[in-house]
Amino acid sequence: MNSLALINEFLGQPPNASSHGYQIDHIIEFCHWFMAALFVGWSAFFIYVLIRFRKSRQPRADHGGVRSHVSTHLEFSVVMIEAVLLLGFAIPLWARRVNQFPPGKEALLVDVVAQQFSFNYHLPGPDGQFGRRDVNLVSNSNPLGIDPNDPAGKDDIVTSGELHVPVDRPVIAELSSKDVIHDYFIPDMRIAGDAIPGSLIPIWFTPVKTGTYEVVCAQLCGLGHYGMKGTLVVDTAQDYQAWLKERAELAGTQTTPPAPAQRPPGEPLGGSTPGTIPPPGGPKPPTADAEGAGASPHPAQQLHNAPASAASPTP
């Protein structure tokens, strides 16, 4: 489905690649045209008033004011259009996003654990079970703290930076963070969600076009925020299976998952709080390993078993 998207294109919005994105694009496009009409209308009215009520023509102020009801009707129409936009389009679209998750069996489940300054992915592997994650097991070589003694975690896939998903299959991503608040944003998929330490926030989308898309962090999360990017590759079903196989083989040959991304230039060394540089001679900040690992109890397990409606985040 193609839509007239002149303003969206003008604003630099990339083409949509998800099943629900067209609706979002329609709303954004319509709102911009509506605001443009309002801007032109109110500007014309303002200029008319300046001329019509100029001092030379109206030397004495008329305290009776306007007697015509045109402006009242206009204002009522604007309120009606805005109410229709909000109640008829925006709220139903939002409700579908947060309440109507696809069944866990149909969807691809992935845990996204953000950290300064990269996104880690945890996939359950062929058994469909996520291995236990423990904050105390987090280390540079085990960035998600996966318990090596949990049989469910033996076939799990951990990757950083790049995620592959199959086309035309819903993806449920459960977001959490190891350090500060990040935001997992895939502009082409028209989806974003905050990754908050101590919270599990599920989002879902269905990619409809194969390709390589940019993932960015949309919360100012530290000095290296500008470099917090990743890649989402939407594969055909065969390519996705091949990627899974490759990842599984890689996991077999190397006992440790890939190390987290290096700190981008500009970020102070050490596990200090983002954006803060410890004063000279001050106490040493704790290392990143000692902090929360986003290793929430077991992120996706509840999501798999819970009814779809229960998977929505509570405000």
| Residue 179 and residue 116 in contact, taking contact as beta carbons nearer than 8 Å | yes
CA distance 20 to 203: 13
By C-alpha distance, which of 173, 158, 166 is closest to 260? 158
Among 157, 171, 186, 217, binds Cu ion (CB under 5 A): 217
Q: Which stretch binds Cu ion (CB under 5 A): 49-57, 74-82, 177-185, 280-288?
A: 177-185
Q: How far is the CB of 100 from Cu ion (least distance, A)?
A: 28
Cα separation values, 305 from 98, 150, 204, 286, Å: 17, 19, 16, 37
CA distance 11 to 114: 28
DSSP code, position 226: G
Total residues at interface with Cu ion (CB under 5 A): 4
227-246 binders of Cu ion (CB under 5 A): 228
Task: Identify which of residues 107 and 138 has a Cβ nearer to Cu ion in the complex.
Answer: 138
Task: Identify which of residues 102 and 264 has a Cβ nearer to Cu ion in the complex.
Answer: 264
Q: Which amino acid, 206?
A: T
Q: Does 182 bind Cu ion (CB under 5 A)?
A: yes
Task: Identify which of residues 111 and 156 has a Cβ nearer to Cu ion in the complex.
Answer: 111
Q: Does 303 bind Cu ion (CB under 5 A)?
A: no
Task: Identify which of residues 112 and 221 has a Cβ nearer to Cu ion in the complex.
Answer: 221
Q: Integer distance in angstroms from the first to the last C-alpha of the chain? A: 33
Phi-psi category of residue 63: left, alpha or beta, with phi > 0 → left and psi -120 to 50 → alpha: alpha
Q: Which stretch binds Cu ion (CB under 5 A): 1-9, 105-113, 220-228, 253-261?
A: 220-228
Among 17, 200, 201, 221, binds Cu ion (CB under 5 A): 221
Kindly report the CA angle at 128 between 125 and 131, in degrees rounded to 5?
70
Q: How far is the CB of 232 from Cu ion (least distance, A)?
A: 16
Task: Identify which of residues 118 and 129 has a Cβ nearer to Cu ion in the complex.
Answer: 118
CA distance 123 to 173: 10
Task: Identify which of residues 123 and 180 has a Cβ nearer to Cu ion in the complex.
Answer: 180
CA distance 181 to 178: 9
Task: Identify which of residues 215 and 228 has a Cβ nearer to Cu ion in the complex.
Answer: 228
CA 303 to centroid of chain Cα atoms: 18
| Residue 93 and residue 20 in contact, taking contact as beta carbons nearer than 8 Å | yes
Q: Does 191 bind Cu ion (CB under 5 A)?
A: no
Q: How far is the CB of 228 from Cu ion (least distance, A)?
A: 4
Task: Identify which of residues 191 and 221 has a Cβ nearer to Cu ion in the complex.
Answer: 221
**Binding-site string for Cu ion from residue 52 to residue 91, where x marks contact by CB under 5 A and - marks none:** ----------------------------------------
3-class secondary structure, 310: helix
H-run or E-run covering 235: strand 229-235
R_g over Cα of the chain? 25
Q: Which stretch binds Cu ion (CB under 5 A): 103-111, 155-163, 175-183, 232-240?
A: 175-183
Task: Identify which of residues 152 and 261 has a Cβ nearer to Cu ion in the complex.
Answer: 261
254-283 binders of Cu ion (CB under 5 A): none
Task: Calculate helix-pair angle for 21-52, 70-83, nearest 10 degrees.
Answer: 170
Q: Which stretch binds Cu ion (CB under 5 A): 31-39, 140-148, 221-229, 256-264?
A: 221-229
**Matching residue, tokens 């944003």:** 185
Q: How far is the CB of 182 from Cu ion (least distance, A)?
A: 3
- Residues found near Cu ion in the complex (CB under 5 A): 182, 217, 221, 228
